[in-house]
Structure 1
């Protein structure tokens, strides 16, 4: 817990901080511009300058200003602080500060604390073979790249949940403050419990401009901005100015007030009864400083410092404009590098001493390399949560309700560790996961009223109607070493497509960095899916998130489509044990027939794909037809179609293949879970037609299987963007995924039909016409659909 500290920063200390800040700014400019001559020990020539000038200067001096003052607070109070950099394009500032504190060299020994190391530090930035321009995984202390603006604050709150001694300093650029995700994230304070959680110190950095326009928050009058934060439940502290010495004093005082306030809030909350804690007014710092602070005031007669022109590279075209080269040299020399580095080229010892020690350095804090802190979850036995399935199709159940029971067990088993959370947009109960509420409630720090449903101060389920905030919370939680699951309606998980992309890229980059330890996987449950959104209609019908996920590198993404409750339990147990993955589970919540016992489900999920011998017709070893399926509704419709084929064409040999792990369809050389060609051909003989009923868009299966020898004989039916408010079965009919269309597809791909086959084709047309008329007359599906069940007598041997 942060300590109260009543000593004011001395003038000598602030003078040293200013010198440190000059060093950080010098190294930031050097990274953007210099290939050589890192200490300006000779006149600057064009060959010392990079041929391509990349990076962002405008936000960087403010980021270093904040970093320097946080260092002072950490040293004075022995505070445990990490730095979330919302303006991640200010990456060179983060690199400079971690180099000054020594953590960068510890992680990248070749970038030593000497002139050669400084030369390499400058050269590598935004350079082929070097490091990215953002606060990427290569930068020690970073958990937030900032390549996409909007969710720094939700990351910060996710990091603070269940981290009682951690303060997450979150710098929010005023451009980022305009985004919808950031606007929702301000209300994360309604879920942060000062008794159990850490603290978030938002620092809104108003430098006035985006790429080419002013920012909204910077043009709001101070009193209006104050009311904005008061309305969001914060206690704002304002730091405003341009003159560095005055600003250092104002910032030091604001930091002390903020950390004193955090310490007082936590002390009060942790000394009283658990249920008595109330949401406090947490501090927020509003820093107004010029964009491109300390940079060129004018370039070519146009204002640069304090304007949008300083956003990226203020001086460009140096080879053609000698005046710009001279101006760059003057700019660099204005920081007086001869006063900042010793004879060997190392930052002066007095400057390095300003940084905290050991793990208290923000670049070395283990919370910013969360795999160092990750402890595997204690997982309960599945037997206590499984459904009793004596034979296929004899038991009905709700798959996600069983999953909720398992998640309750996970929550109970890890209650002492407090390292597991479930997040979602107000859908935990709707998605049948309410067994969680038997052991924990929904986190809530606002007013509690009689009749509230499972709201509590210490709740471990996080619900807010912002998918962005849910995603950000969970990412921050995982990146700091914990575990979790995100439950969402399938159609609306698309809201976080780009956040998913950024996290996938972070994981991919982190794998190449030896000192980045693996973090727990990001796990999605997508339910209330396309085939169970008949009541909400077309707007709620979209299974395309899987297609977005499949664009990522194959070693990052896994997609699971368990057909029933027990397979869902097995998949959930598996994904919660994994790391450095993004696992997507698609499963329905509606009552449905159950197919596999727990033991059979374990075997099936271990393989990821397999023949369901009990569902086959005739001789499955010599099939005339393969009927394949992936997803719960496609599985039921496939089995109903197989049953019809068996009843009307008893001589037909039909093999049933069910797919749980979608990635098994890819070749082994493409994906770690992929099947070798021989194993795939054993399931799908190259000359045998196959009808594949798939949960999502049909072309996804073709995309995964196009290299297989059998691909020419593969016909896929799935969602084809047909939907409305209708009956559940009619949704499958509209998209050609129903049993009647599946039978017709099979018949069309078999050799010349005999009379029985032609009769069955006509019968399917008749059933489809009857269905069409019936639902419009009665508003529900036909009895033969509503009351359908698997007939064991026609289904072979149960597992």
Structure 2
């Protein structure tokens, strides 16, 4: 170990600390050329100091290791509130000024660096998309390890340094994500080096892991399968050598694990190293303010001193604090870092803030997709064929996986549901990733499998996000009701994508694709707890530039939509499709046309003959589509003079005006489909008010009546779920009779029949435990003049 190395590491650390404090407090006077005055202090002091010096310490030491070993590494910070530290380090190594030339690496640039932080028109306080080198904002705690492992999958030369805050370590998602090491393949994957940063406090409370005996903590971490190394203290003279030695041991161990697996064929699950770093909260900050301890207490968590602008005594403390880093030894007269400070830091793409893996769109290769048309379900006549739509999707994904085996840039994620969701054809070409114990009775478990299953939606989502943000592709299949578990993670990712689109140097990344199946209308066996379509409402809250929602009504539409989503970039695509046998309506040619349009009249199901209809029957979702068609069949048989138009919606965003969403229909196009003044009965997959929200500006909105899920559920038959929520064919017919002018009298007999059929249904299912044969066996009639044309 060279003293010059320690000097350079310490200098970089002190400089990063200085710049971090300056970002929190200063508007001007960045090099303290004059005593701090009121005009130099920001009017609003925002940011977080407490975790920042520890993050700066780790960053400085990782710089040394990267330069010494020529490591390919990225740096993820679970305590995202340490934003000023990562911004400071990116400025010190030059990347920040490269991507933001106006924030130059000199005194004027330093002043702009300070001013912009948590300031109107500036940058956020977190490690946000604006921060070079970041793929993990960390504003919401709990996901740093899952993101880190997602980044390491299929990146064999990458080391991901993942700092876990001790407050973050108390979250459920983080506690589960420690188990990601059971899924990491040392042959084809990179490595994750977790660093548990114990600084003892959250906002106002101690942290659990900082207050248990070290032997108990070590037992916990060893129980997770890691080899923990401990570095503790506050004296830089001790801490720098200790950290260098510990990082050397950990990185040597990672290299040895990979060498044994890759060169010697060692298949035993390794015990990966990790580091526990214990430092004071607010390390190197003021020891006390107003007689109260600050350093190494919760008081240093955010801004250690408020009202600095108004109190000269606080300004004196701040000035002494900043001068304790000896800025005159760090920056020259022009404000540029001295060469000795950065001489042993990485250069070019090896810099943590410039590594292309943290700007994954730069590395992204398109998927080698098969032709989805080759997987079509044969449909000779609408509604006559029955098939499991997601089964057809599974065959398509099987070949997506197989064609990506060499490039290793596609994985399928889900919580133990690949087979349940009818996607298990993929298991004929790959296995489930697994690096823990296997038994003779296990099936499809193997190191290096492309299917990622763990019974934690949080971990699946985090893995996929890390995988996508480093330039690869994937799909997350989940039961519809339980995708809500990742509501907040979806929010964060959608915001990341939205912000990234406005950052020129951020290259587009593959879209986050959800398949929501086992949905609300076919959860009859699991019951009320598994019945909730509300994730769609949450998604639609996000920016129109980011979100897309699709309701393919059959297998061929699902194949077309899936192909489109896998090719897209910078979106969150939500596909909702059932896995149970269901009618198939469109041949592949018609499906492609329908999905391209997003919404269209189904001529073969309509009886308006190109004239203005008396009634529009609209639908979105596979079960609502079936019930709408069954209701239309009843209307056509009993009221043949009624002109009915059937409109199917596959792209939900088509309902919005084009001014609100890029997929939205123009008012004239919407009016041509849904008319200006005729009643519209709309059967929708989810909560009905969302359709009203999307269409409230449309001309004919006052004639729009939506039926959807209204929180009526239980363990019952499939059709009874529709009845309980009044989207079934009988209720839809009654609704049509109620709303078409002049039909209340003419349709009185039919209405009475429908009401009687509802009574008979209730009696039948209570006696037989299944739906009536006329419901189970219903098919769209294949009769001349009654819908034999398969065109959409």
TM over 0.5: yes
1:391 aligns with 2:381: yes
1:618–1:650 Cα contact (<8 Å) kept: no
Cα separation, 2, equivalents of 1:595 and 1:118: 63
Cα separation, 2, equivalents of 1:162 and 1:220: 36
Q: Of residues 472, 475, 485 in structure 2, which corresponds to 1:482?
A: 472
Q: Of residues 6, 14, 24 in structure 2, which corresponds to 1:32?
A: 24
Partner of 2:630: 640
Cα separation, 1, equivalents of 2:685 and 2:744: 32
Cα separation, 2, equivalents of 1:80 and 1:798: 55
User: How far off is 1:796 after superposition?
Assistant: 4.7
Secondary structure of the residue that 1:369 maps to in structure 2? helix
Cα separation, 1, equivalents of 2:744 and 2:249: 87
User: How far off is 1:409 after superposition?
Assistant: 1.2
Q: Of residues 737, 760, 767 in structure 1, which corresponds to 2:727?
A: 737
Q: Of residues 179, 184, 187 in structure 2, which corresponds to 1:195?
A: 187
Cα separation, 2, equivalents of 1:798 and 1:362: 56
1:82 aligns with 2:65: no
Partner of 1:227: 219
Partner of 1:318: 308
Partner of 1:110: 102
User: How far off is 1:754 after superposition?
Assistant: 6.6
Secondary structure of the residue that 2:747 maps to in structure 1? helix
Q: Of residues 241, 245, 249 in structure 2, which corresponds to 1:253?
A: 245
User: How far off is 1:618 after superposition?
Assistant: 4.4
Partner of 2:142: 150
Q: Judge which range, 110-119 or 618-627, deviates more.
A: 618-627
Secondary structure of the residue that 1:205 maps to in structure 2? strand
Partner of 1:73: 65
Q: Of residues 341, 348, 372 in structure 2, which corresponds to 1:351?
A: 341
Partner of 1:242: 234
1:617–1:796 Cα contact (<8 Å) kept: no
CA RMSD of aligned residues (A): 0.9
Cα separation, 1, equivalents of 2:314 and 2:26: 14
Structure 1 stretches of 4+ with a deviation exceeding 4 A read none
Q: How does 1:689-700 map to 2 (within 5 A)?
A: 689-700=679-690
User: How far off is 1:343 after superposition?
Assistant: 1.3
Cα separation, 2, equivalents of 1:385 and 1:752: 47
Partner of 1:94: 86
- Label 1:31 to 1:701 Cα distance change in 2 as closer, same or farther (>3 A): same
1:643–1:795 Cα contact (<8 Å) kept: no
Cα separation, 1, equivalents of 2:461 and 2:151: 12
Partner of 1:4: none
Partner of 2:418: 428
Cα separation, 1, equivalents of 2:693 and 2:676: 17
Partner of 1:611: 601
Q: How does 1:485-634 map to 2 (within 5 A)?
A: 485-634=475-624
1:655 aligns with 2:650: no
Partner of 2:176: 184
Cα separation, 1, equivalents of 2:173 and 2:655: 36
Partner of 1:442: 432
Q: Judge which range, 329-338 or 617-626, deviates more.
A: 617-626
1:392–1:596 Cα contact (<8 Å) kept: yes
User: How far off is 1:355 after superposition?
Assistant: 1.5
1:620–1:653 Cα contact (<8 Å) kept: no
Partner of 1:783: 773
Map Cα deviations across residues 558-596 of structure 1 (whole Å, 9 max, x no partner): 000000000000000000000000000000000011000
Cα separation, 2, equivalents of 1:266 and 1:730: 56
Map Cα deviations across residues 413-449 of structure 1 (whole Å, 9 max, x no partner): 2111100000000000000000100110100000111
Partner of 1:3: none
Map Cα deviations across residues 343-402 of structure 1 (whole Å, 9 max, x no partner): 111011111223101100000000000000011111101233111111101211000000
1:443–1:455 Cα contact (<8 Å) kept: yes
Cα separation, 1, equivalents of 2:643 and 2:737: 13
1:334 aligns with 2:324: yes
1:526–1:586 Cα contact (<8 Å) kept: yes
User: How far off is 1:755 after superposition?
Assistant: 5.6
Cα separation, 2, equivalents of 1:237 and 1:477: 28
User: How far off is 1:59 after superposition?
Assistant: 0.2
Map Cα deviations across residues 515-541 of structure 1 (whole Å, 9 max, x no partner): 000000000000000001011010100
Cα separation, 1, equivalents of 2:451 and 2:122: 41
User: How far off is 1:18 after superposition?
Assistant: 1.0
Cα separation, 2, equivalents of 1:630 and 1:652: 22
Q: How does 1:399-410 map to 2 (within 5 A)?
A: 399-410=389-400
Q: Judge which range, 640-649 or 375-384, deviates more.
A: 375-384
Map Cα deviations across residues 107-151 of structure 1 (whole Å, 9 max, x no partner): 111111111010001111001111000001111000000110000
User: How far off is 1:277 after superposition?
Assistant: 1.6
Cα separation, 1, equivalents of 2:123 and 2:746: 68
Cα separation, 2, equivalents of 1:542 and 1:336: 59
Q: How does 1:765-784 map to 2 (within 5 A)?
A: 765-784=755-774
Cα separation, 1, equivalents of 2:138 and 2:187: 30
2:16–2:85 Cα contact (<8 Å) kept: yes
Map Cα deviations across residues 458-486 of structure 1 (whole Å, 9 max, x no partner): 20000000000000000000000000000
Secondary structure of the residue that 1:576 maps to in structure 2? helix
For normalisation by structure 2, the TM-score amounts to: 0.99
Cα separation, 2, equivalents of 1:416 and 1:687: 57
Cα separation, 2, equivalents of 1:655 and 1:20: 70
Cα separation, 1, equivalents of 2:420 and 2:406: 28
1:623–1:653 Cα contact (<8 Å) kept: yes
Partner of 1:464: 454
Cα separation, 1, equivalents of 2:132 and 2:270: 32
1:69–1:251 Cα contact (<8 Å) kept: yes
Q: How many aligned residue pairs are there?
A: 789
2:520–2:530 Cα contact (<8 Å) kept: yes
Secondary structure of the residue that 1:524 maps to in structure 2? strand
Secondary structure of the residue that 1:462 maps to in structure 2? strand
Q: Of residues 96, 118, 127 in structure 2, which corresponds to 1:126?
A: 118
User: How far off is 1:258 after superposition?
Assistant: 0.4
Secondary structure of the residue that 1:628 maps to in structure 2? strand
1:797 aligns with 2:789: yes
- Label 1:396 to 1:327 Cα distance change in 2 as closer, same or farther (>3 A): same
1:195–1:277 Cα contact (<8 Å) kept: no
**Structure 1: runs of 5 or more not aligned:** 1-8
Cα separation, 2, equivalents of 1:218 and 1:11: 32
Q: How does 1:669-684 map to 2 (within 5 A)?
A: 669-684=659-674
Secondary structure of the residue that 2:743 maps to in structure 1? coil
- Label 1:618 to 1:550 Cα distance change in 2 as closer, same or farther (>3 A): closer
1:522–1:581 Cα contact (<8 Å) kept: yes
1:57 aligns with 2:29: no
Cα separation, 2, equivalents of 1:425 and 1:784: 36
**Structure 2: runs of 5 or more not aligned:** none
User: How far off is 1:751 after superposition?
Assistant: 1.6
Partner of 2:705: 715
Q: Judge which range, 28-37 or 749-758, deviates more.
A: 749-758
1:763 aligns with 2:743: no
For normalisation by structure 1, the TM-score amounts to: 0.98
Cα separation, 1, equivalents of 2:394 and 2:343: 52
- Label 1:20 to 1:797 Cα distance change in 2 as closer, same or farther (>3 A): closer
1:454 aligns with 2:444: yes
User: How far off is 1:12 after superposition?
Assistant: 2.6
